[in-house]
């Protein structure tokens, strides 16, 4: 009970500080064009952006575009996570495979996903599959590398003890490998979720698929600075929401782990 009583004031203080910081940022933003420091054509008034957002939120077409973006994000993230968990577990459990694939992984992982857009368009044209290829490629490495590290981090003494007690492979995976790798996995998925959203919007901007990225590009080409900033704000809010949701899932799934328990006590 004492811990919860401490956590509530601290959580409330965090929220209040966040709200105060955001309010201050918006006030400064409003003052910059008002005082003529930057032309409102290049930095619109916050009030104009909020008014535009209110209009967009009442428009069904906006929600369709948002749905397109989030659909490609969700599919790409799910496929990348599933593939990375399976392959990362196999590679992480077999030292020979870990050594054999190290050079290939270090070669493929740094390739910018945006550089693959021409290849994606060549293969799939202006379709969702082209965006999915980019999203999956970028997200896969975030989870794959974390899973390998997590599986490889299993304590050697614990592994030998499990063998000596006659635990089956499935039991070792369930009671030894999974608890060790889960914190790494959740970190990888949280990072991959943010990367997938970035690439989903980038692919729409470059490839031309329907979605928020396409609307940002259309606003830019039309010189609609208010619309441009409004859609950028929406993407920022989406990124914040994705991070909050996955952070919540991570804390819930790792409530037993010392890192999360330490945060709660502090």
The residue segments making up the domain with residue 29 are 1-40
- Same domain? 121 vs 252: yes
- Same domain? 1 vs 73: no
Q: Mean pLDDT, 10 residues at a time, over the chain (266 residues)?
A: 54 80 89 88 90 92 93 95 93 86 86 86 86 93 92 73 70 75 90 93 89 92 91 93 90 71 50
Positive/negative CA dihedral, 124, 126, 127, 130: positive
Is 132 within 8 Å of 76 (Cβ atoms)?
A: yes
- Same domain? 120 vs 26: no
Q: What is the pLDDT of residue 263?
A: 53
What total number of domains does the chain contain? 2
- Same domain? 121 vs 21: no
- Same domain? 180 vs 149: yes
Q: Which of 40, 55, 70 is the last residue of a domain?
A: 40
- Same domain? 70 vs 13: no
- Same domain? 59 vs 151: yes
**Residue 177 sits in a domain of what CATH number?**
1.10.3720.10
DSSP label at residue 42: T
- Same domain? 231 vs 148: yes
- Same domain? 210 vs 253: yes
- Same domain? 81 vs 65: yes
- Same domain? 143 vs 206: yes
Is 108 within 8 Å of 87 (Cβ atoms)?
A: no
Distances in Å between the alpha carbon of 116 and those of 11, 102, 120?
43, 22, 6
Is 135 within 8 Å of 200 (Cβ atoms)?
A: yes
- Same domain? 86 vs 3: no
Q: How far apart are CA 88 and CA 92, in angstroms?
A: 6
């Amino acid at each position: 009970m004492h811990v919860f009583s401490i956590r509530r004031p601290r959580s409330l203080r965090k929220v209040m500080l966040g709200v105060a910081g955001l309010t201050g940022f918006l006030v400064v933003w409003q003052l910059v064009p008002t005082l003529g420091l930057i032309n409102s054509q290049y930095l619109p008034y916050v009030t104009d952006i909020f008014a535009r957002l209110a209009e967009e939120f009442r428009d069904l077409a906006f929600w369709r575009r948002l749905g397109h973006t989030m659909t490609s994000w969700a599919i790409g993230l799910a496929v990348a996570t599933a593939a990375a968990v399976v392959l990362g577990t196999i590679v992480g459990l077999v030292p020979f495979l870990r050594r054999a694939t190290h050079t290939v992984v270090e070669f493929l992982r740094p390739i910018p996903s945006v550089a693959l857009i021409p290849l994606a368009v060549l293969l799939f044209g202006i379709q969702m599959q082209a965006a999915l290829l980019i999203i999956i490629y970028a997200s896969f490495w975030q989870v794959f590398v974390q899973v390998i590290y997590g599986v490889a981090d299993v304590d050697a003494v614990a592994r030998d003890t499990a063998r000596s007690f006659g635990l089956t492979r499935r039991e070792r995976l369930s009671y030894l490998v999974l608890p060790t790798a889960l914190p790494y996995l959740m970190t990888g998925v949280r990072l991959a979720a943010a990367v997938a959203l970035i690439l989903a919007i980038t692919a729409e901007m470059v490839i031309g698929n329907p979605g928020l990225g396409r609307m940002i590009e259309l606003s830019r080409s039309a010189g609609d600075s208010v619309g441009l900033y409004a859609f950028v704000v929406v993407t920022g809010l989406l990124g914040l929401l994705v991070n909050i949701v996955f952070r919540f899932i991570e804390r819930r799934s790792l409530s037993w782990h010392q890192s999360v328990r330490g945060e709660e006590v502090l």
